[in-house]
Amino acid sequence: MAEGKIPPDIGKMSFEDALEELQRIVSQLETGEGKLDQAIEGYKRGAALKQHCEAKLREAKQQIDKIALGPGGKVETEPFEV
């Protein structure tokens, strides 16, 4: 798996599915069970899943508008800034 490149199967995942798989991988790595090669592959897949989740969060953040009351009580939206 190339550095920074998200595999197509991960790219199709929802945020929730990717996060769930990432949590499973982290649990497996924390137990220390399995062979070294499996741990390395799990780590690489986990890194790609993390990158995918971060991208999904950035996309969602860009779509969020803050609802505000304008002059005269009129409801308006403006970009949300953290």
> What region does 34 belong to: left with phi over 0, alpha with psi -120 to 50, or beta?
left
Spatial CB neighbours of 45, under 8 Å, sequence gap ≥ 6: 1, 7, 10, 21, 25
Tokens of 44: 């690489």
Phi, psi values for residue 76, rounded to 5°: -135, 165
Instruction: Give the model's pLDDT for residue 49.
Output: 98
Instruction: Give the model's pLDDT for residue 82.
Output: 61
| CA diameter of the chain | 66
Q: What is the pLDDT of residues 17-73, one digit of tens each?
A: 999 999 999 999 999 888 999 999 999 999 999 999 999 998 888 777 777 777 888
Instruction: Give the model's pLDDT for residue 57.
Output: 93
- Across the range 1-19, mean pLDDT stands at 88
Give the three-class secondary structure for 6: coil
pTM across the whole model: 0.74
